[in-house]
Structure 1
């Protein structure tokens, strides 16, 4: 429109140099002329009034945009039933409190009962899935057919798909291919391994590294030589990921190499006492003067111990590292002794006793409940890595006994590795700790982990109090907030039980 172009040019040059030319449109020219000839307004005002006239004339004369694409198809009918009004209200309350823990609980309950979210909250759920990738697998089942239909209108929401896993593996995004590989590794390991081998030569180093991450060691038991061949990969990151998996496979050449080196360092000897009238078994430890340099390319690191005051050498640290990957029952076969006797032999020598945590670390990679139980009975030391192996009452007792001096480690296990709800006894110990540490056990902490707390603790919150007056007020506010979260948790569970 020529008149509007004149306005823009005048704005760029300034009203001191020129005024807009007369519009060519007759109906507009008369009005602009009246403004320009008005004796009581200055040049700037004339320009602004003229611009307003031209702008409105331009807007009124513009035709609306017409849609020329295909007609919009309505959302398909749902196959599953929407959640109840009570469950819907619980979800809305969860969004208000922004609690990932309660949202995960709600999504789990909905999936178990085969219920889907109501249409009003679908945009919020899709936005949540966009921001929190970890929740996507849990959110997708409750979106229903309408949620997947709605996702097509926003590129940021298009993480859901109805494509079969085979097609996703061939055409999906790197993230989708990774997820489908992990799923298939659990349901059909042979198929997942074949996929990996077929695509290996087509991927760059970064993609190969990402594909290897988090894969279960059992996936490679059918073709261990192929995994071991990756030790010769050009990418160091690929080799590092392959080493991490091989260290968790007892039959791998890597673990066997560690074991051969370790066996040469430990022997059981019989020591005579009382002029030969009695004897006892002792653990004889002899570390080599040096190790084959090749071992330092296979997951073992050189650690400088020059500042150590307890006699620990670099070679001792090499041995300690290798012990972390040896299945504990190997020691029984090698020494011909029971697990209890071997633990005792290690404990008798002050120096060798320092290597015991190495076996404890091995339990996290090669679980053995018998060995874990033996470690748990040691009341002098805390072995954090046996917690995932312990079960039931034994784990609970071990946590409670060691909580006062290892709270940070225990809480990390409870929040990162334990999926089931805490027992009431463990929760009581934790809540007393939280009362004195409300800066770390704050609203954000409880928002994230409230689903792990039993609802029954709500009736006992007034029993927990900070030791100093300064902390009491802060804890009182946190306790009130926890009570609200527990109320929503109760509301959620009841809504899905009806």
Structure 2
């Protein structure tokens, strides 16, 4: 029997997804045991709840009607949208004429790296995009998801209204608008469902976990991985049983999504199991004159039982069958656990590890663990060890990931002494890779010291052919991280060299022009509106 009204005629305030969930609860418990009423579907007759036989018939009738409506793809009608004239008053001041002109240049593709920071700074200063640039901004950011939250924060009331009118622009509001409706969980895209789950995790983590556990067995592996990754929002020990279940999934993508989450759980059982495997393999021996590490590889070959402990048969980060197993064990364990167990600081452990034949394996395993567990003390120790001079063949390390565990100030304090000890710029200097990982804004002493090293190097024409690539890479980085207020610090020593360094003329000019443009962006924040 069909409802009297077609799905598109059903009351707009009615949401079938919530009724479907309630209907499932009644059906699972039984019509006589469930305290819930059978949901009422618009257009279907209702029966008295006191009549057991009629209640069961009503359940079946409602199930058929709801199934048909859901298969038809019914979506609740949205609430009527306000017109621009009915919108609340703007709370942000629009950019002035100069600011609008500069933003227009950014949206035209000039200095594209500066747009994210400028949008963030606009929001921090309670400024918004001028109305005449709203369409251009929405067109620019709609295909760049990383910019969606930044743009949404500076659209103002009119811009938000405008974005809601166009299907291509509505995603811009997704991260700042109201939480997705429950119907999204049933009918939305994968991205919408993930966002719904993340929003629900913030308000009712238990319900989110139950809904996720119910649907995961029916989802393809790619969807499973994306949905499970949402558990990172508010990750807690209560998530452990669900995550542990998928440690042995048939899909490697799912397993690799779950492994770091389980390892980072408070009092993780996985970490305890991994420790039981790893601790006997690395022994500390102390003598009166030295501290040594004795390393053994796992005696057993890999089998499927290793999956439950987060260890794959092969891992591209490590070489060798049994070495791969030990490397993965190290990569899952919080590195500070070793320091606490041996009662040694990280620097002493690293020096002992470097003296073993398995130094590269130990260093890379601990580096991966440092990144996973955000261990800033170990990150500083690893980068300090890597940067020490002289060292002919240091082990390769994931420098970018380690640097992200430290603040700009910590990295600056690490690099400045290296600059002083080896001031001559060149592609081989140990401080250059670390310098290019220091995010902005740079401090004045760092800017001044680097500019001086560049000036001295560029004043030696016979060396330009050897250093021009490394120098151009550094100048590109400086254009992003040197504060605009340091323009004179850079321009005064470097501008006279523009005509003398043909290899680097473009890179030098781009640095100075970018700093000048950024200074104009800063000034525009204080300009009166048009």
TM-score interval for Structure 1 and Structure 2 normalised by the shorter chain = 0.5 to 0.7
Query: RMSD of aligned C-alpha atoms?
Result: 4.3
Q: Map of 1:30-429 to 2, 5 A cutoff? A: 73-74=83-84, 76-77=86-87, 78-85=89-96, 86-159=98-171, 160=173, 164-167=178-181, 169-170=184-185, 172-182=188-198, 193=209, 196-197=212-213, 199-200=215-216, 203-213=219-229, 216=232, 219-249=235-265, 251-269=267-285, 281-294=291-304, 297=307, 298-302=310-314, 314-352=321-359, 355-378=362-385, 379=388, 380=391, 381=394, 383=397, 384=399, 385-399=401-415, 401=418, 404-405=428-429, 410=434, 413-414=437-438, 418=439, 420-427=440-447, 429=450
Give distance in 2, aligned partners of 1:350 and 1:325: 22
Any conservation in 2 of the 1:75–1:146 contact (CA below 8 Å)?
Answer: no
Report which of the two structures shows the higher radius of gyration computed on alpha carbons. Answer: 1
State the Cα distance separating 1:219 from its structure 2 match. Answer: 1.1
Q: Deviations over 1:257-279 (max 9, x none)?
A: 332221121223355xxxxxx67
Give distance in 2, aligned partners of 1:211 and 1:91: 37
Any conservation in 2 of the 1:285–1:352 contact (CA below 8 Å)?
Answer: no
Specify every segment of 5 or more residues in structure 1 that has no aligned partner in the other structure, as ranges.
Answer: 1-69, 272-277
State the Cα distance separating 1:228 from its structure 2 match. Answer: 0.5
Moved more, 111-120 or 451-460: 451-460
Any conservation in 2 of the 1:193–1:219 contact (CA below 8 Å)?
Answer: no
Any conservation in 1 of the 2:311–2:325 contact (CA below 8 Å)?
Answer: no
Any conservation in 1 of the 2:367–2:382 contact (CA below 8 Å)?
Answer: yes
Give distance in 1, aligned partners of 2:415 and 2:151: 33
State the Cα distance separating 1:250 from its structure 2 match. Answer: 6.6
Give distance in 2, aligned partners of 1:201 and 1:481: 53
Give distance in 2, aligned partners of 1:255 and 1:179: 29
State the Cα distance separating 1:338 from its structure 2 match. Answer: 4.6
Any conservation in 1 of the 2:485–2:519 contact (CA below 8 Å)?
Answer: no
Give distance in 1, aligned partners of 2:292 and 2:474: 50
Any conservation in 2 of the 1:267–1:283 contact (CA below 8 Å)?
Answer: yes
Change (3 A) 1:475 1:72: same
3-state SS of paired residue (1:320): helix
Change (3 A) 1:214 1:465: farther
Number of equivalent positions: 410
TM-score, structure 1 normalization: 0.68
Structure with the greater relative contact order (CA < 8 A, sep ≥ 6): 1 or 2?
Answer: 1
Any conservation in 1 of the 2:379–2:402 contact (CA below 8 Å)?
Answer: yes
3-state SS of paired residue (1:473): coil
State the Cα distance separating 1:481 from its structure 2 match. Answer: 3.0
State the Cα distance separating 1:327 from its structure 2 match. Answer: 0.9
Any conservation in 2 of the 1:332–1:338 contact (CA below 8 Å)?
Answer: yes
Any conservation in 1 of the 2:331–2:367 contact (CA below 8 Å)?
Answer: yes
TM-score, structure 2 normalization: 0.64
Moved more, 178-187 or 453-462: 178-187
2:510 to 481, 485, 494: 481
